[in-house]
Amino acid sequence: MSQHGDAHEADSGGVVSVPHRLLRRQVRDIASGVEGELMAVVREDVSDTPARERWVVLAYVRGPSGREISTAVANIEAV
């Protein structure tokens, strides 16, 4: 288990998968209005230096075009 309390840590340095009740379901990003399938929720270290971590939780939504967007997980709502 990682120091951030999640057993789903990926090996891609600074990215941790987060379980979410809407994964693989249709959602809307309220910030952009994009609707699509919630593909992943991750906790990602976006700091520019290893000395100071800065973690954010992002949602990845695949829209009708097939292109994925990222947004704050708080912006996601079920359709």
**Single pTM value for the model:** 0.78
Q: In angstroms, rounded to a whole number, what is the distance separating the alpha carbons of residues 14 and 9?
A: 9
pLDDT digits (tens, 9 = 90+) for 42-61: 999 988 888 898 999 999 99
Contact 41, 17 (CB under 8 A): yes
Per-residue pLDDT of the chain (79 residues; tens, 9 = 90+): 333 344 344 445 679 999 999 999 999 999 999 999 999 999 999 888 888 989 999 999 999 999 999 999 999 999 9
